[in-house]
């Protein structure tokens, strides 16, 4: 009986992230528009976009191979799994232990791997430019992310997100320099990973400096829809990740109790809203940087991650 409950809970989590993801993006867009004193698109515009795209036929480049058609589904599947493994309103879900934080990052890596390949598949220069920049950014973002994981794991003694979030919620954690550095680094990585300003600009399709959008330039119809959805999911994933690690309030351990659900969900909604507001403000305030400034930006994250790890030893000794 309990197993079914756990299954259900896991299902709820999966559907929740899937449904919330476009909303989050819509919210960020809305906020940004408002900050620019524009009306902006409706909050639910991403849903409409997705549905419209899905209904359209796919125009496939003559040269595209099976890999090109396979990639959207793969990217969507991996991103969705990754996103549903991050504790949102409740931790310790049934399958939460099937991948820890490192595996989660690697799952996203798998998705990126295919996306970059798809960028090369048609054999255009835009696809190539996007892919090559994407992997360059990833090659810096991933180690930075792993250093952050190290820092956290050294403090928590685990890479299991449920355990981590529970620990961070406990008074044992205290206030540490390492955590601060880790947070900053994580934010930088999240910005880079989600192709946000100042690393990339998600709003443009035709700019020479673009990365992610150049890579998926050849996609259309339902394929594009899946890729867009995956991007929404990824944003949600990172926001949830930051939330569950650095703002773990309200996330309860596994219980099938409606009261904790409500608290958890409410807290989650608040956290999402707060962070997307912050993201929108940040994106409005800074300018996009040149592509070759990005390594420095990410290098800073990597260094902070490493520094945090090392500082952890210093602060950990008392």
Partner 1 sequence: MPGVALSLVGILLAAAAIAIPTSGTRMARPLVYGICLATTLCLMTVAATALIGKSATPSSLALPAGLPQLGAHFRIDALSAFFLFVVNLGAAAASLFAIGYGRHEETPERVLPFYPAYLAGMKLVVLADDAFVFLVAWEFMSLTSWALVIANHKESDNLRAGYIYLLMASFGTLALLLAFGLLAGAEGNYTFAVIRSAPPSAGIAALILILAIIGTGSKAGLVPLHAWLPLAHPAAPSHVSALMSGVMTKVAVYGFIRIVFEMLGPPGWWWSVVVLVCGGATATMGVLYALMQRDLKRVLAYSTIENIGIIFSALGLSLAFKSEGLASIAALALTAGLFHIFNHSLFKSLLFFGSGAVLNATGERDMEKLGGLIHSMPQTAFVFLVGCMAISALPPLNGFVSEWLAFQAILLSPQLPLWSLKLIIPAVGALLALSAALAAACFVRAFGITFLGRARTPAASRAQETDRFSLTAMLILAALCLVAGILPGVFIDLLAATVQFLVGGRMPPQTGIEWLSIIPIAEGRSSYNGLLVFLFMIISGTLAAIAIHRLASDKVRRGPAWDCGYPDPSPLTQYSAASFGQPIRRVFGTIVFRAQEVGEMPPPASTAPARLTVKLSDLIWDTFYAPISGGITFAAEQLNRLQFLTIRRYLTLVFAALVFLLLVLAIWQ
Q: Footprint of partner 1 on residues 83-102 (CB under 8 A)? A: 95, 97-100, 102
State in angstroms the smallest separation of the CB of 182 from partner 1: 13
Binding to partner 1 (CB under 8 A) within 179-238 occurs at 206, 217-218, 221-222, 225-226
Angle between helices 101-121 and 161-169 (to 10 degrees): 130
The residues near 221 (Cβ < 8 Å, ≥ 6 apart) are 53, 54, 56, 57, 58, 59
Compare residues 44 and 313 and give the one whose CB is closer to partner 1: 313
Burial of residue 121 (number of CB atoms within 10 Å: 0-12, 13-18, 19+): buried
Measured from the CB of residue 304, what is the shortest distance to partner 1 in angstroms?
Answer: 12
Q: Which stretch binds partner 1 (CB under 8 A): 128-136, 246-254, 262-270, 279-287?
A: 128-136
Selected from 20, 129, 181, 197, the binder of partner 1 by CB under 8 A is 129
DSSP state of 171: G
- Closest to partner 1 by CB, 36 or 173: 173
Q: Which of 112, 234, 271, 288 binds partner 1 (CB under 8 A)?
A: 112
The nearer residue to partner 1, 136 or 263, going by C-beta atoms, is: 136
Spell out the residues 6+ positions from residue 106 whose beta carbon is closer than 8 angstroms to its own.
none
**CB nearer to partner 1: pick between 72 and 202:** 72
Q: Which of residues 148-167 bind partner 1 (CB under 8 A)?
A: 150, 153-154, 157-160, 163
> For residues 251 and 92, what is the distance between their CA atoms, to the nearest angstrom?
10
- Kindly determine how many residues on this chain lie close enough to bind partner 1 according to the rule CB under 8 A: 85
Q: Looking only at residues 229 through 288 of this chain, which bind partner 1 when binding is defined by CB under 8 A?
A: none
Instruction: Supply the minimum distance, in Å, between the C-beta of residue 259 and partner 1.
Output: 25
State the minimum distance, in angstroms, from the CB of residue 157 to partner 1.
Answer: 7
Q: What minimum distance in Å lies between the beta carbon of 181 and partner 1?
A: 13
Residue 316 in contact with partner 1, rule: CB under 8 A: yes
* Rounded-to-integer distance, Cα 254 and Cα 94, Å: 9
Are the beta carbons of 76 and 226 closer than 8 angstroms? yes
In 3D, which of 96, 97, 53 has the Cα closest to residue 76? Answer: 53
Give the nearer residue to partner 1 in terms of CB position, either 218 or 283: 218
Nearer residue to partner 1 within complex by CB, 24 or 225: 225
| Residue 136 exposed, middle or buried by CB count within 10 Å (0-12, 13-18, 19+) | middle
Single out the segment in contact with partner 1 by CB under 8 A; choices: 105-113, 170-178, 235-243, 282-290.
Answer: 105-113
Residue 103, Cβ neighbours under 10 Å: how many? 14
CB within 8 Å of 279: residues ≥ 6 apart: 28, 196, 239
């Amino acid at each position: 009986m309990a197993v079914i409950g756990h299954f259900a809970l896991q299902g709820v989590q999966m559907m929740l992230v899937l449904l919330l993801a476009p909303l989050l993006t819509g919210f960020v867009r809305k906020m940004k528009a408002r900050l620019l004193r524009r009306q902006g698109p409706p909050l639910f515009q991403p849903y409409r976009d997705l549905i419209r795209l899905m209904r359209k036929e796919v125009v496939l480049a003559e040269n595209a191979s099976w890999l090109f058609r396979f990639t959207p589904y793969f990217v969507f599947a991996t991103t969705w799994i990754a996103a549903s493994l991050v504790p949102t309103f409740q931790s310790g879900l049934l399958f939460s232990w099937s991948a820890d934080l490192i595996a989660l990052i690697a799952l996203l890596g798998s998705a990126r791997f295919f996306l970059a390949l798809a960028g090369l598949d048609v054999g255009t220069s835009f696809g190539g430019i996007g892919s090559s920049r994407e992997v360059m950014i990833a090659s810096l973002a991933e180690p930075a992310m792993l250093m952050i994981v190290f820092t956290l794991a050294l403090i928590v003694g685990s890479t299991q997100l449920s355990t981590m979030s529970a620990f961070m919620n406990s008074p044992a954690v205290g206030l540490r320099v390492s955590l601060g550095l880790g947070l900053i680094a994580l934010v930088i990585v999240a910005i880079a990973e989600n192709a946000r300003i100042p690393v990339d600009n998600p709003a443009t399709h035709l700019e020479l400096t673009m990365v992610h959008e150049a890579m998926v330039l050849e996609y259309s119809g339902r394929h594009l829809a899946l890729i867009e959805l995956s991007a929404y999911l990824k944003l949600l994933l990172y926001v949830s990740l930051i939330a569950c690690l650095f703002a773990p309030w309200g996330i309860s351990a596994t219980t099938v109790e409606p009261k904790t659900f409500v608290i958890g969900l409410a807290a989650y909604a608040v956290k999402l809203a707060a962070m997307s507001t912050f993201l929108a403000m940040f994106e409005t305030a800074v300018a996009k940087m040149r592509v070759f400034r990005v390594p420095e930006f990410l290098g800073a994250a990597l260094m902070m991650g490493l520094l945090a790890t090392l500082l952890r030893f210093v602060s950990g000794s008392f």
